[in-house]
Structure 1
Amino acid sequence: MSPKRADLDTRARLLDAAEKTFAGKGYAAVGINEVLSGVGVPKGSFYHYFPSKDAFGEAVIQRYFESYLRDLDETLADGSRDWPGRLMAYWEGWRANQGLDDCQGRCLAVKLGAEVADLSEPMRLALKTGTGGVIDRLERAITAGVADGSLTPGVPPRVLAQSLYDLWLGASVLAKVHRSLDPMDSALLVTRHLLGA
């Protein structure tokens, strides 16, 4: 394996390990040593891959959303469903994902959003870009549903997309607080109503 390829593999392993660790513990509670030891990378090598912990956190968030948005694109491209069905498949998947591990979920936007917004401007901007990508895709799906008549929202598609995303972020936080799926079940009911699904 070439040195460049080995560097890319090590960097990817560090990002994978950090995503899992951050999803479970948050950002501030995780030391770089914990991630490094889990991957078998010596501490002195960390700065070869990332200039700082914040840059590392930013890269983790960016990589997370690249994968997340690919999955969302796949869900919304499912031509076997109408637009309300595609959107509901996304929200049902969100509920299933956030219901894992006693409602602790695996969404970095939920886990890190409030925590890092005041700690790190680069990480805040990475979260803003990633969540903006989700909302953009939801808006396009709602607009397509309006165009084919399968959706008739009483508000502009952008407003509905943003409001639904906000609803689900809040429901996910409350599910963590209550250790119950009830907030997400309520969000699912409201979402079905708003989408006419």
Structure 2
Amino acid sequence: MHLTKKAEATRQHILDTGHRLVLHKGFSALGLLEILKACGVPKGSFYHYFPSKEAFGCELLQQYVDGYARKLDGLLSVPGNGNERLMRYWDAWIADPADPAQGWADECLVVKLAAEVADLSEDMRRVLDAGVQRLLARIAALIDEARADGSLPAGSPSPALARVLYQMWLGAALLAKLSQDKTPLTQARDATGQLLACGTARHIAADQALSR
């Protein structure tokens, strides 16, 4: 779709406004007229910018995962060893270095929409899942980096550990949202440190205990 600069700016404004509304209401409960009213765009013009609400949802999610990746790049660009850089990411879930009053968990569309879009739209599910898989690979790479530079001991395979950690943080984010209390996130951080510090000997002992 070829748009003028003004039309492209309007389209981006709809996406930005929709993002804020989706964080508050979810996707299914959000009507097109509500989006257009909130961003001051005339009724009936939505389909000039997006062929359907689902297409709008896919674009919104793609923009989110791409923006998340860029934000992570910026966060990890600060020098430090592998473990420091990895923990900097988890700390950002609790308090964003750019805005300590809120954390990345507060604006996470995976937390907000994963269950909803998985049942609602296959295309939206794929966009969000692809973003999560990219993030898991990035977390695993950070674990490998930390083990290579000696800031973390060897242990469980990094892809599996990355998935376990991410799953724990998603659950903590949900509980924090439900309770309006960041304690689950701080507890997840403590547990993350313990899991990452679990070296090869302890890992082998745990495997042996489970096999009995």
TM beyond 0.5: yes
Give the aligned residue type for 2:90: W
Structure 1 runs of 4+ aligned residues shifted over 4 Å read none
Partner of residue 128, structure 1: 129
Partner of residue 173, structure 2: 172
Partner of residue 162, structure 2: 161
Partner of residue 109, structure 1: 110
How many residues are aligned here?
193
SS at match of 1:174: helix
Partner of residue 10, structure 1: 10
Give the aligned residue type for 2:16: D
CA separation in 2, counterparts of 1:153 and 1:75?
Answer: 25
Q: Percent identity?
A: 43
Q: Does 1:142 align with 2:143?
A: yes
CA separation in 1, counterparts of 2:73 and 2:152?
Answer: 19
SS at match of 1:41: coil
* Structure 1 segment 52-67 matched on structure 2, within 5 A: 52-67=52-67
CA separation in 2, counterparts of 1:4 and 1:87?
Answer: 41
Q: Deviations over 1:71-103 (max 9, x none)?
A: 112222322x21111111111111226x978xx
Partner of residue 44, structure 1: 44
CA separation in 1, counterparts of 2:65 and 2:8?
Answer: 19
Partner of residue 87, structure 1: 86
- Which structure 1 segments of 5+ residues have no match? none
SS at match of 2:41: coil
Deviation at 1:44, TM superposition (A): 1.6
Q: Deviations over 1:13-66 (max 9, x none)?
A: 011001111111111121111111111112321111111111111111110111
- Which structure 2 segments of 5+ residues have no match? 199-212
Deviation at 1:191, TM superposition (A): 0.8
Deviation at 1:153, TM superposition (A): 4.2
Partner of residue 71, structure 1: 71
Give the aligned residue type for 2:48: H
CA separation in 1, counterparts of 2:155 and 2:147?
Answer: 11
Checking the alignment, whether the CA contact within 8 Å between 1:84 and 1:145 is kept in structure 2 is yes
Deviation at 1:178, TM superposition (A): 2.1
Partner of residue 31, structure 1: 31
Greater relative contact order: 1 or 2 (C-alpha under 8 angstroms, separation 6 or more)?
1
Change (3 A) 1:54 1:3: closer
Question: What is the Cα-based RMSD across aligned positions, in Å?
Answer: 2.2
Deviation at 1:3, TM superposition (A): 5.6
CA separation in 1, counterparts of 2:73 and 2:133?
Answer: 14
Change (3 A) 1:153 1:112: farther
Change (3 A) 1:153 1:159: farther
Q: Deviations over 1:128-162 (max 9, x none)?
A: 01111211111111111122221224201111111
Give the aligned residue type for 2:85: R
CA separation in 2, counterparts of 1:54 and 1:14?
Answer: 14
Change (3 A) 1:172 1:100: farther
